[in-house]
Amino acid sequence: MTDLFSKIKAVTELDGIAGYEHKVRDYLRGKITPLVDDVETDGLGGIFGIKKSTADNAPRVMVAAHMDEVGFMVSDIKADGTFRVVGIGGWNPLVVSSQRFTLYTRDMRAIPVISGSVPPHFLRGANGGASLPKVEDIVFDGGFADKAEAESYGVRPGDIIVPQSETILTANGKNVISKAWDNRYGVLMVTELLENLKNEQLGNTLIAGANVQEEVGLRGAHVSTTKFDPEIFLAVDCSPAGDVYSDQGKVGDGTLIRFYDPGHVMLKDMRDFLLTTAEEAGIKYQYYCAKGGTDAGAAHLKNGGVPSTTIGVCARYIHSHQTLYAMDDFLQAQAYLQAIVKKLDRSTVDLIKNY
């Protein structure tokens, strides 16, 4: 087991959906506190370490992951003891059925549950085919006899349900299969960045940490960007790979130059800076036109406008129990992020903002 895989396993096997990021926040606090001058949280629970600069008029550079993964919340307990849920984050209903989950009660008791499915035997009246279910119609089952028994174990509406999945290596040792690489990738990027820069004197004041509630509408980024008021915002997030669908984003082809998504268009001077930095540092990268958004989409609109981008990797089958991704892509993205942060002094930031 490599050191990198051990770190990936530790962060991806943590459980935490939007509004319930406390386990991830505690992990992050423990890792970053020895590496920074101050640790601050915002009012929603985002956490950031601040590494101060001694340079005159140092720009404020923010590197932000997000702590939350996709999951569910109990909306109703039925008379038969099964549950119905609402999705917390985006789910394809086709990947939900017949999977194992962990339900956390109010007192954080962990209860094993499964998502139901309809056996083909019961579908014969519909010619053996199944229609696409709605998430709110999928049965979640903890094996309770009835509603009273479920409640006796502490189950209540509002309890959270998180995918249960072990993090493993693929046979060739190059790739990882796990849940939650979106966005424990970012959490690990932040801790590795701060560890590698702990003895560096930077030309910027670095604000590095993670937001809450990205998966439900980039909510934490609005709060943290307003609070910390950076001049440059760098989201670190994972995007869906399209390689098995003959689309952009190939696992193993390096970090992403994410030049467009529906909520964010990369500024010309930011693009020039990123490409020049990647080429000078010998970073393996690929162009990526995204169909979804990251916290950069919220951050760039705050405080009069903040030049932003996303330093990311791609992974297959995200927002499911089993995501597949390359460890080398992480290493390329980490080297890239370090090169970017080291270059962001006052003169470089002013060039990026030279409109």
To the question of whether residue 222 is assigned a binding role by annotation, the answer is no
The helix-helix angle for 327-343 and 3-12 (nearest 10°) equals 90
Rounded Cα distance, 68 and 158, in Å: 16
Contact 233, 299 (CB under 8 A): yes
Token readout for 71 is: 């999951």
To the question of whether residue 215 is assigned a binding role by annotation, the answer is yes
Rounded Cα distance, 64 and 354, in Å: 24
DSSP string over 297-354? HHHTTSTT---EEEEEEEEBT-SSS-EEEEHHHHHHHHHHHHHHHHH-SHHHHHHHT-
To the question of whether residue 182 is assigned a binding role by annotation, the answer is yes
| 110 burial level (CB within 10 Å; 0-12, 13-18, 19+) | exposed
Contact 214, 221 (CB under 8 A): yes
Contact 313, 331 (CB under 8 A): no
The residues that bridge with 69 in the sheet, in sequence order, are 17
**Encoded amino acid at 83, one letter:** F
**What is the CB-side half-sphere exposure of residue 354 using CA atoms within 13 A?**
11
Q: Which of 21, 69, 192, 214 is catalytic?
A: 214
Tokens 């340079």 sit at which residue? 55
Q: Assess whether 214 carries a catalytic annotation.
A: yes
- Sign for the CA dihedral angle at 343, 344, 345, 346 comes to positive
Contact 327, 167 (CB under 8 A): no
To the question of whether residue 237 is assigned a binding role by annotation, the answer is yes
To the question of whether residue 195 is assigned a binding role by annotation, the answer is no
Residue numbers in the known binding site are 66, 182, 215, 237, 319
Binding residues for Zn(2+): 66, 182, 215, 237, 319
What residues are labeled active site? 214
